[in-house]
Structure 1
Amino acid sequence: MTLDEHKITRIESFTFRREFPRYMGNNAKVGPHGKTGIEKIRRIHSNQGAIGIGRSAAPDESIYCFIGCSVGDLFDPAIGTVVEAGFLDAPLHDLAGQILEQPVWKMVGARAGNSIEVYTGGIYFDDLDPQDSPRGIDAVLEACQQDFDAGHAHFKLKIGRGFKFMETARGDQRDIDVTRAVRDAFPNSKILIDANDGY
């Protein structure tokens, strides 16, 4: 069966509360995240009985317009989700994999292996917390060490301190200093960055 033969008939939304391994501070746009977060999950149903599930933080009103669309109009295994349906990227990948009877990694062309590298996405602006007595760069390194000890060999660092929480030049320099400190402390780890639209 092809993706074009499947039409989206229903999109369900539900949430769950997750607990973070520690207090999560600011990113470039949002203040403290705290100890818990709410995740919005979507379950997409097709007229042929296939179901895809995945995270999607989009507002409800932005996704229901896809009811009635063929999965093939929204997703191509060679390139992924079309831009207009980007809000449903994860559940559409799962749905296409279910329809094509392939794991997503295989559908998108990855080679099979016995392991994958994982990174932590929980390295926030811990250096700026608490506001009345910021802990500095060592707080970021402590978070990295905690996540490294939990099995995350690589780090995605939040940057963009100068967007909202520091003067621009000082914030940019702090981003550089934090990145260098993480590199020095974890020379074998890969570093990714996430500015949350803060640049």
Structure 2
Amino acid sequence: GRPRDTGIKNSIAVEFDTFFNAELLEPYENHVAVHTRGYRHPNSANHSFALADTVEVGDLGRDVHTARVRYRPNLQLDTLFSETFQTTGQASHFLENADFANGGMADWGTGMGQLEIFVDHMTNPVISTPLNLDGLLDLHHGRAWVGFTGSTGYGTYQTTDLLTWHFRALREDPLYHPPVVVNGVGAFACADEELCVHP
């Protein structure tokens, strides 16, 4: 569909799309995609800002479908070799933004998790993409709003019914490895004395 020109800031969107919009650089098929611009900018449906997308789904405009979105704060290494693992240049933006160019830490510098999208088959995701939710969004003590929205393209219509849904919080602590400090000057201390430049 054709969303509003201004997206929701500080958001991540999982898109189930049945209408082709060439101006949004979408794949020419029914597709599922994950969009975000982090907490600094309004989200966008343009696929330049997609972390991942797939056309490996059935006709989303017909029948009843079951979907599941799962976030894991710790990246499962076997996911890297999965057929559904993918990422785009938009993900690399979050590995190099913020104060990274000046030697600081990027938004995703504290670790990596993964977002998985399942459609109709709840054991095999159609998308697995790397993501650090805590670094991506400006959360209040790890809390966020979850909601639904829908739209169609110009001159088109579609009825989308959400028949049932539930939310389950996964209480899994993310792994954290403090960054290595190059010197012990000031309030910092080296994480590993053998790796300090100036002991």
The two structures have a TM-score, normalised by structure 1, of 0.22
Higher strand share: 1
Higher relative contact order at CA 8 Å, sep ≥6: structure 1 or structure 2?
Answer: 1
The two structures have a TM-score, normalised by structure 2, of 0.22
